[in-house]
A = this chain, B = another copy of it.
């Protein structure tokens, strides 16, 4: 079902992924991109956004530590990437937490065409306009069984691929819904593990036009890499896991990933 060869395509083509991200997770995101064979660039000045939006193979936008200046830069780079036909990925970190984030995401969704929106269930529920008890940047509490419905709704409304990360990942292009039941529970104990997944998805959509396929392979490979990483640990501890996980990204390959993959298409 998943085209695992995309892992090799990323390594071979070394896509340039321009990421506007928050300063909490930037280092892990850059090292993770290097590990999978992509080339990260993280600039923020509005003066260079148009050039970078045209030059990059993909642009990833993460709203974790927004301010007004960053919003201006995001709009510039997003529009430049749209003009150049390059895919743009949105990671709406904690969008439910404050009005400023909600208004910003509404603006971004109006001004920029996103190839992919990836977040947790609470974040996507907020975008779908569904009441949700958000709490900081965590997923919060709601009805998890709604994931497929929310993914379909947002994918249709914004003509995008939606990836909802969680114990089960739910991915939709507005027609099909695919679930992935992989990943270790240590993954969310590392700050920025979702942010890095958005970057990895950026690298994959940067090397193919089949975005649904790219998101499924990227998400599944990422989750499975966390399972391999755990196998190399003496004890299940988060900082050791973080090192093992980035290491695992550097040696992942489709052959190994396929063995553990738990990917299903959900009939609607």
Q: How far in angstroms is the closest Cβ of chain B from A200?
A: 15
CA distance in complex: A24, B46 (Å): 18
Please encode chain A, from 181 to 215, with 1 for each CB lying within 8 Å of some chain B CB and 0 for all others.
00000000111100000000000000000000000
Chain B contacts for A48, CB-based, 8 A: 66, 97-101
Closest-by-CB residue of B relative to A40 is B191
CA distance in complex: A97, B43 (Å): 10
Tell me if A2 counts as interface (CB < 8 A to partner B). Answer: no
Interface size, chain A (Cβ < 8 Å): 60
Tell me if A260 counts as interface (CB < 8 A to partner B). Answer: no
Tell me if A240 counts as interface (CB < 8 A to partner B). Answer: yes
Q: How far in angstroms is the closest Cβ of chain B from A117?
A: 20
Tell me if A253 counts as interface (CB < 8 A to partner B). Answer: no
- Interface residue from B18, B31, B98 paired with A191 (Cβ < 8 Å): B31
Contact indicator A67/B67 (Cβ below 8 Å): no
Q: Which of A16, A28, A191 has the most CB of B within 10 A?
A: A191
* Binding-face segment, A81-89, A157-165, A244-252: A244-252
Q: Which residues of chain A have a CB within 8 Å of any CB of chain B?
A: 16, 18, 22-28, 30-31, 34-35, 39-48, 51-52, 55-56, 64-69, 94, 97-101, 135-138, 189-192, 235, 237-240, 242-247, 250-251
Provide a sorted-by-A list of 18 A–B residue pairs whose CB atoms are within 8 angstroms.
A22-B42, A27-B28, A27-B191, A31-B239, A40-B191, A41-B97, A41-B136, A43-B66, A43-B97, A45-B66, A45-B68, A47-B98, A48-B97, A48-B98, A52-B97, A235-B247, A238-B246, A238-B250
